[in-house]
């Protein structure tokens, strides 16, 4: 038996490749300032980016990264624990902790690693209660930990309450959720979750990958938006902060513990200086320019109302990610292909990234998208959806 015999694509993926509607690993040749990218030599509207505040191409963020690159090199050649800690890391950690309202923070090389770094908190005598829609990195973190994992239905705080009521009183209790769910675009019910946590002596761990920098009066994320207090928070720099990297923030004793026990941080090379400096510069922009948040949230509202006017099902909310549920994976990929034909690059989300029967196109807007860009996106959706019979012909073919 050859150990590599399992290395073959599934029939569904092979069929997608053969059909010409394969929606993954499409190379982008250039990123432009106006929310467009170049694909196959053609300018298309980027409607799948997580760069919500349009900071990845901001001159200040890029200049900070270039300066750090020139002064400190392309890499640190070591882990944070040994020789890879920069003064820049310590500065960013202090600034992030203050921004998020925590005692301390630990910077790591990716947001995925930040979530894996949580695993030492999930001990053998603990009960970990997690929303069913949490990110794959959080699921892997739970598997690395030793806690008993129980999943509650997405945002079903009544079921979460029952699970807490039935928990062993001797067990440590932790609740794990995202602040803003990246696929569905809705928010966790943090007021109810933190209320249950206080009632049952549980700790709340929040993944703020998609909401830190975006939500709340100061851009601190879903917890600030709801006026809720969480115990530990993870963030990634690959969304609102325009670069790559991640961090865990929380009580100092927890962060100190993770510095010495989180294997994803201990045994990985540290975040390069350029990315660290870029994230620090982006944090400054987040604090100084709240209009960026207002711009992207207004664009998201225009997109939602426009999709609803087309007769397409739209989930309520105001997140910059808007799911367009198609259901059938093949039809979903055909819609992705038709959108690209119309000059729009979106994201096709197929099982297991989404539940079976819930394949969807995830549309997203950023602060770089003008009203004209949103109108162009809606026209493309109308045309592509009409072509596939997803909306009545009278609705497609442009908007009034």
Catalytic residue among 36, 126, 207, 224: 207
Active site includes 182? yes
Tokens of 187: 């928010």
Catalytic residue among 89, 102, 226, 239: 239
Tokens of 11: 């029939």
Catalytic residue among 21, 89, 135, 226: 135
Rounded to the nearest angstrom, the gap between the alpha carbon of residue 122 and the centroid of all alpha carbons in its chain is 22
- DSSP 3-state of 151: strand
Active site includes 135? yes
Active site includes 386? no
CA distance 229 to 250: 11
Active site includes 50? yes
Buried b (16+ CB within 10 A) or exposed e, 322-358: bbbbbeebeebbbbbbbbbebbbbbbbbbeebbeeeb
Catalytic residue among 119, 182, 270, 364: 182
Q: What is the residue-wise DSSP string for 201-266?
A: T-EEEEE-TTTTTTSSTTS--HHHHHT---SEEEEESSSTTSS--EEEEE-HHHHHHHHHH-HHHH
Active site includes 178? yes
Q: Facing residues of 43 across strands? A: 38
CB contact at 8 A, 74 and 266: no
Q: What is the residue-wise DSSP string for 308-355?
A: HHTT----SS--SEEEEEEESHHHHHHHHHHHHHTTEE-EEE-TTSS-
CB contact at 8 A, 105 and 248: yes
Active site includes 62? no
Catalytic residue among 21, 89, 210, 225: 210
CB contact at 8 A, 269 and 78: yes
Catalytic residue among 50, 76, 119, 264: 50
Nearest to residue 49, comparing CAs of 284, 363, 384, 380? 363
- Across the chain, the runs of DSSP E, i.e. the strands, are 30-31, 36-39, 42-46, 104-108, 126-131, 148-152, 172-178, 203-207, 232-236, 246-250, 321-327, 344-345, 347-349, 359-364
Active site includes 239? yes
Q: Which residues are catalytic?
A: 50, 135, 178, 182, 207, 210, 239
């Amino acid at each position: 038996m050859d150990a590599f015999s399992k290395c073959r694509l599934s029939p569904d993926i092979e069929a997608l490749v053969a059909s010409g509607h394969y929606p993954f690993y499409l190379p982008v040749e250039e990123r432009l300032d106006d929310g467009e990218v170049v694909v196959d030599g053609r300018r298309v509207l980027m409607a799948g980016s997580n760069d919500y505040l349009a900071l990845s191409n901001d001159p200040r963020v890029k200049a900070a990264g270039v300066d750090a690159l020139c002064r400190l090199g392309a890499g640190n050649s070591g882990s944070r624990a040994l020789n890879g800690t920069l003064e820049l890391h310590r500065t960013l950690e202090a600034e992030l902790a203050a921004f998020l309202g925590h005692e301390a923070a630990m910077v790591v090389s990716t947001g995925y690693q930040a979530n894996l770094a949580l695993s030492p908190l999930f001990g053998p005598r603990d009960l970990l209660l997690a929303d069913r829609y949490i990110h794959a990195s959080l699921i892997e973190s739970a598997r690395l930990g030793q806690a008993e994992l129980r999943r509650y239905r997405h945002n079903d705080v009544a079921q979460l309450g029952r699970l807490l009521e039935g928990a062993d009183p001797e067990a440590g209790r932790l609740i794990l959720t995202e602040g803003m769910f990246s696929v569905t675009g809705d928010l966790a019910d943090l007021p109810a979750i933190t209320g249950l946590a206080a009632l049952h002596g549980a700790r709340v761990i929040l993944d703020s990958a998609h909401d830190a920098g975006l939500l709340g009066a100061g851009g601190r994320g879903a917890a600030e938006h709801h006026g809720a207090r969480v115990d530990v928070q993870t963030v990634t720099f690959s969304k609102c902060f325009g670069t790559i990297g991640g961090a865990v923030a929380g009580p100092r004793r927890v962060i100190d513990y993770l510095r010495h026990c989180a294997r994803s941080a201990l045994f990985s090379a540290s975040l390069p200086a350029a990315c660290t400096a870029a994230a620090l510069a982006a944090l400054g922009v987040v604090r100084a320019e709240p209009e960026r948040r207002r711009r992207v949230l207004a664009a998201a509202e225009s997109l939602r109302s426009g999709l609803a006017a087309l007769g397409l099902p739209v989930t309520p909310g105001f997140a910059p990610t808007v799911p367009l549920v198609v259901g059938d994976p093949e039809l979903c990929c055909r819609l992705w292909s038709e959108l690209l034909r119309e000059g729009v690059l979106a994201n096709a989300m197929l099982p297991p990234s989404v539940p079976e029967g819930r394949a969807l196109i995830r549309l997203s807007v950023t602060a770089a998208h003008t009203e004209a860009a949103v109108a162009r996106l809606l026209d493309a959706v109308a045309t592509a959806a009409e072509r596939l019979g997803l909306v009545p012909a009278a609705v497609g073919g442009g908007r009034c």
